[in-house]
């Protein structure tokens, strides 16, 4: 899976190769329904793929990062918005993104009122635009690149903050309870990290945004997806609400049809960034203690087990697959909320967690974690998605119904199970003595006061740890002196080129106290010890 930023660079390269005929702008309202959009998507799957219109590629290439930043949407032009200070605000202000070097394809925008869809025609009047901007050369049918919704328009918060944005291929993202963007979601993942195949990035080519008037009611947006191997229709019901502590919730319905065979079909995909954390980093990489949008993959299996997998920044792309049947949910989480662990003004400590909850059961398949090497924080190098057990063949169709929770924590916390709060790796052996070669120490910390305070004074929980490779030794537990956190410790002896799948939890009288911590460890890929 390429990063979102790499995707955009790829789109830039493609933009100069062809120019497709524009569609006629629909000026009059037309009837609209999600059922009709699904019928269109199904019909498209039986036709040859036609790429989206890309107006004047040579000109769009001139709208680089700096030029794009000068194209400011005029707040007074926002749709569905009353004026700040009005007695009865009309809705979440709707703004559009301009085309640019990294967003070259036109996405058609429609507003839906009383079941009638009206296209929003592109106009330079929507934007503050310098006189010498290359954007002024674009034709009247250039179109938009995406859209965003601003906070409910009161003088206190609008138009300073948007809470959801759709921009680039099938990417979208929302802020969490801390009001900060971070990781993204996607409509679909096709053939990510498949040898001898190039990952495909289908596009949301049309959006239908329904009229809104209640800040606590869901905002409904429908989207048409199209790509060389797939077509589909999506309906998003997105809830922000005036209680900002809840973050953003989305209920998503989708129907997908495959034009071609796909080796890896990733449903409900999430994408994030992990450069380094409190473990696994090389010396002198960066001045900050940690840099990541997410620090682990959490899973709640169909059997009820809670699992935590810390993320890696590997030296080569790797896929980890976790077999399950009807999982209750999974997500990429940012559990570390301590600013002192990041020391960065971009507020990594405020990045949202993103959790997937199936409404319609997924069946049999695997949660797959994709980790791609990165040497900087500008790349989204982490992906997580559901892959059905059955092969994805041309003519197959898929029906999805699931929720996304953009919050500070996962939404369904098990109060009787302690969570992983840190994973530490260092040299093994006994401190104060000569350290043996090829022995590595793990210290994994768990916290949840209601759970850990049940441990009687003087009792030390059992550390249950297994490995697929190597020899485990020096296994013990200890309290961290703050009253709540306990640390599970163990050493593992293994050769530098070996790879071990580690699995561990803490138990009291044979009953698990903690979630199951799992980790894929290859010594030569770890930090310099």
pLDDT tens-digit readout, 423-458: 999 989 887 777 889 999 999 999 998 898 889 989
Cα dihedral across residues 504, 509, 510, 514: positive or negative: negative
Give dist(CA 68, CA 144) in Å, integer.
Answer: 13
Instruction: Give the residue from 302, 413, 399, 406 showing the smallest Cα distance to 360.
Output: 399
Mapped onto helix, strand or coil, the DSSP state of residue 514 is: strand
Yes or no: say if 377 and 333 are a contact pair by the CB < 8 Å rule. Answer: no
Read off the pTM: 0.91
Q: Report d(CA 184, CA 4) in Å as an integer.
A: 9
Separate counts of helices (H) and strands (E) for the chain? 5, 34
Strand partners, 79: 94
pLDDT at position 282 is: 60
pLDDT computed for residue 286 by the predictor: 86
Q: Give strand pairing partners of 392.
A: 262
- Write out residues in the chain with pLDDT < 70, as ranges: 1-27, 82-90, 153-160, 280-284, 483, 525-529
Task: Report d(CA 9, CA 209) in Å as an integer.
Answer: 28
Q: Residue 150 burial (CB < 10 Å; 0-12/13-18/19+)?
A: buried
Peptide bond into 159 cis (omega under 30): yes
Neighbouring C-beta atoms of residue 401, cutoff 10 Å: 14
What's the confidence (pLDDT) of residue 283? 56
* Max Cα–Cα distance, the chain, nearest Å: 81
Q: How many angstroms from the chain centroid is the CA of residue 496?
A: 33
Contact between residue 277 and residue 310 where contact means Cβ atoms under 8 Å apart: yes
Q: Which domains does the chain have, with CATH numbers?
A: 4-136+155-407 (2.70.98.10), 419-525 (2.60.40.10)
> The tokens of 105 are what?
């394809």
pLDDT, residue 214, reads 83
> How many Å from the N-terminal Cα to the C-terminal Cα in the chain?
30
How far is Cα 191 from Cα 264, in angstroms, rounded to an integer? 5
User: Given this model, what pLDDT does residue 487 score?
Assistant: 97
pLDDT score of 382: 98
């Amino acid at each position: 899976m390429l990063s979102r930023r790499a995707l955009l660079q790829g789109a830039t390269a493609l933009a100069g190769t062809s120019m497709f005929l524009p569609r006629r702008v629909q000026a009059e309202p037309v009837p609209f329904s999600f059922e009709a959009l699904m019928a269109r998507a199904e019909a498209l799957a039986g036709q040859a793929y036609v790429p989206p219109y890309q107006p004047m590629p040579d000109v769009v290439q001139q709208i680089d990062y700096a030029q794009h930043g000068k194209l400011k949407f005029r707040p007074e032009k926002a749709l569905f918005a009353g004026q700040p200070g009005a007695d009865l605000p009309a809705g979440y202000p709707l703004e559009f993104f301009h085309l640019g070097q990294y967003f070259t394809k036109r996405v058609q925008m429609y507003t839906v009122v009383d079941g009638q869809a009206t296209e929003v025609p592109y106009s330079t009047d929507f934007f503050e635009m310098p006189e010498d901007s290359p954007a002024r050369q674009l034709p009247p049918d250039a179109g938009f690149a995406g859209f965003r919704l601003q906070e409910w328009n009161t003088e206190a918060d609008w138009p300073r903050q948007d809470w959801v944005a759709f921009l680039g291929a099938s990417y979208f993202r929302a802020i969490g309870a801390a009001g900060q963007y971070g990781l993204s979601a996607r409509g679909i993942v096709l053939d990510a990290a498949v040898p001898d195949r190039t990952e495909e990035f289908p596009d949301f080519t049309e959006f239908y945004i329904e009229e809104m008037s209640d800040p606590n009611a869901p905002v409904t947006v429908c989207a048409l997806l199209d790509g060389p191997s797939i077509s589909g229709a999506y309906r998003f019901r997105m809830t922000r609400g005036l209680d900002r502590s809840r973050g953003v919730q989305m209920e998503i319905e989708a129907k997908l049809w495959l034009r071609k065979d796909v080796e890896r079909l990733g449903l409900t995909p999430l994408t994030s960034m992990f450069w380094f954390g409190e473990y696994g980093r090389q010396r002198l990489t960066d001045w900050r203690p940690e840099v990541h949008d997410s620090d682990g993959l959490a899973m709640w299996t169909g059997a009820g087990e809670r699992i935590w997998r810390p993320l890696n920044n590997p030296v080569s792309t790797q896929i980890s697959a976790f077999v399950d049947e009807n999982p209750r949910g999974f997500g990429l989480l940012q559990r570390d909320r301590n600013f002192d662990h990041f020391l960065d003004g971009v507020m990594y400590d405020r990045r949202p967690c993103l959790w997937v909850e199936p409404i319609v059961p997924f069946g049999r398949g695997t949660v797959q974690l994709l980790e791609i090497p990165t040497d900087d924080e500008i790349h989204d190098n982490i992906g997580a998605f559901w892959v059905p057990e059955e092969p994805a063949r041309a003519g197959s169709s898929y029906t999805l119904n699931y929720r996304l929770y953009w919050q500070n924590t996962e939404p369904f916390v098990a109060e009787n199970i302690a969570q992983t709060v840190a994973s530490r790796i260092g040299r093994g052996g006994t401190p104060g003595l000569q350290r043996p070669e090829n022995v590595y120490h793990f210290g994994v910390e768990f916290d949840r006061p209601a759970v850990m305070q049940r441990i009687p004074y003087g009792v030390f929980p059992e550390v249950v740890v297994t490995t697929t490779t190597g020899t485990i030794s020096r296994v013990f537990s200890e309290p961290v002196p703050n009253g709540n956190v306990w640390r599970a410790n163990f050493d593992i002896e293994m050769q530098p080129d070996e790879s071990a799948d580690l699995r561990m939890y803490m138990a009291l009288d044979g009953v698990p106290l903690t979630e199951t911590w799992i980790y894929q460890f290859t010594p030569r890929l770890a930090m310099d010890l």
